[in-house]
A and B are shown apart, each in its own frame.
Chain A
Amino acid sequence: MSAVSDAAAVDIPPPVERGWPGRRIAGHVLVGVWVLLGLALAVYLFTAWNPELFDRWKGPYLSGLGITLLLVAISTVLGAILSIPIAYGRMSRNRVLSAIAYAYVYFFRGTPLLAQTFLIYYGLGSFRPQLEMVGLWTFFREAWYCAILAFTLNTAAYQAEILRGAIESVGRGQWEGASSLGLSKWQTLRMVIMPQALIVALRPYGNELILMIKGSAIVAIITVYDLMGVTRLAYSRSFDFQTYIWAAIIYLAIVELLRNVVELIERRLTRHLRR
């Protein structure tokens, strides 16, 4: 009985506030502050606009942007591939497998990407003789490969958790139902579970991609000159803050674009769920 009345209480929307209560005024003031800040930024950029600086650095900025996008694209795709066995390990009943996968995820989610990148590049760099012995030095010599490796390992841990969470979000009944229809485990996964799980996973995947774009800004510490690295270089020459503002605007534009793409994909994938 009480459960029913509770549900009813939840369903009634709060009465609409009329007039100008404090909260509404505060809201308008806050929006006003943001608009002012935006205007100030636009005015600043307009007055501080330095065509000479822009011409000098537009080439490097574009190549930096290319490096950022390429780095994130390659490591996200490789990370997605690597995340499959890890997610499998996380869900496995085999104690050894599950412990290894757990340790992997625990380590890579629990330590900063900066530290991982630094360790892989400079840390492994000090084991050159050993690496040469096994023929891996040509790989680890290059900052670019080290960056891809570090980013792949890192994102694989996050993506494995996204994948596991999504698969486990599909009810057990689906597995049982498919099994009673005579579908094999693989067929169930491919045709029943994954189509449902990937819808759940889409948003977190989009988030992970955005986090990777922003996380990649640290890669200049190992001499890979991505967008942020070029920005710092430009700043160190000109001591002009607008170099950072340009970078912020470019990052913002990429993230906004990605957000819209994810939204579009989600709309298309969930057509059947909409009424």
Chain B
Amino acid sequence: MRITKRLALGLTAAAFAFGLGAANAQETLRIGTEGAYPPFNNLTSDGKLVGFDIDIANALCEEMKVKCEFVTQDWDGIIPALQAGKFDAIIASMSITEERKQKVDFTHKYYNTPSAIVAPKDTDIKGVAKEDLAGKTLGAATSTTHYNYAEKTYTDTTLKGYPTSQEFLLDIANGRLDAVTDDVSVLEEWLKTTDGACCKVVGMITPVPEIHGEGAGIAVRKGETALAEKFNAAIDAIRKSGKYKEINDKYFPYDVYGG
């Protein structure tokens, strides 16, 4: 009994020492992401994380010469999880907004694409103005800028909130919704799938800075300016080196960085 206990203790200590040694050799940065937002970040059926955010994150980590580890986390709880130290940065297509800036610090944007509205091909929705969507049922993921915009703008529309994009895309495919709103690149990716064949983009929404913010940035805990600056330098570096363009072109036929 004694011996086993001592042995276990010794092994734990050894494991600790080894772990610390490894950590010292190369700093590990834990990156939080959602994993349900293709083509930006998505879990494949065999549990691998793929997408634009993931490739960008890996490129940034390589640039910063740190080892990165991904943690997937539900969107609703992603900011509290960052604050609680479950990971050190969020790279999950998070729009830089005033509301969020009160809780976390952001890097510069690493991409900026507008939101769009998608509806079935035979829809009578002609545009994205308030009147166009009056009396319709619109779906969006809660806790997103798209939802906030819809709530403020389409006051004559029934707005339904979903946990992630996956669910409202199911619901527009089966006809429970008249339209959905999300990031245009996410919607276009979906339109290419079999389910997405039902639908088309009816229009793009002109971004409102107070709601949509200045694009998607990397969130770090408040006050961790050094880390944010490191990310900023790395974003600039991959923009310059052409690594950014390489990743951009892998996913999109257009430039997602925006003006």
**A interface residues, Cβ below 8 angstroms from B:** 122, 125-126, 128, 141, 143, 220-221, 223, 225, 229, 232-233, 235-237, 239, 241
Is the CB–CB distance between B170 and A237 below 8 Å? no
The verdict on A233 contacting B161 (CB below 8 Å), with A239-B79, A239-B102, A239-B103 known, is yes
Is the CB–CB distance between B174 and A236 below 8 Å? no
Is the CB–CB distance between B142 and A233 below 8 Å? yes
A50 to B105 CA separation, bound complex (whole angstroms) = 23
**B interface residues, Cβ below 8 angstroms from A:** 76, 79-80, 99-100, 102-103, 139, 142-143, 160-163, 167, 170-171, 173-176
Is the CB–CB distance between B167 and A128 below 8 Å? no
The verdict on A239 contacting B80 (CB below 8 Å), with A221-B163, A223-B160, A232-B142 known, is yes
Which of A126, A221, A223, A235 has its CB near the most chain B CB atoms (within 10 A)? A223
Is the CB–CB distance between B142 and A125 below 8 Å? no
Smallest Cβ-Cβ distance to A237: which chain B residue? B99
Question: What are the residues of chain A within 8 A of B139 when measuring CB–CB?
Answer: 223
A59 to B80 CA separation, bound complex (whole angstroms) = 25
Is the CB–CB distance between B174 and A128 below 8 Å? yes
Smallest Cβ-Cβ distance to A225: which chain B residue? B161
Q: Is the interface of A mostly helix, strand, loop or mixed?
A: helix
Is the CB–CB distance between A125 and B171 below 8 Å? yes
A171 to B81 CA separation, bound complex (whole angstroms) = 55
Q: How far apart are A221's CB and chain B's nearest CB, in angstroms? A: 5
The verdict on A122 contacting B163 (CB below 8 Å), with A128-B175, A236-B76 known, is no
Instruction: A125-B176, A239-B103, A241-B80 given; name 14 further pairs at CB < 8 Å.
Output: A122-B167, A122-B171, A128-B174, A141-B176, A220-B161, A220-B163, A221-B162, A223-B160, A233-B143, A233-B161, A236-B142, A236-B143, A237-B143, A239-B102
A119 to B171 CA separation, bound complex (whole angstroms) = 13
A229 to B103 CA separation, bound complex (whole angstroms) = 22
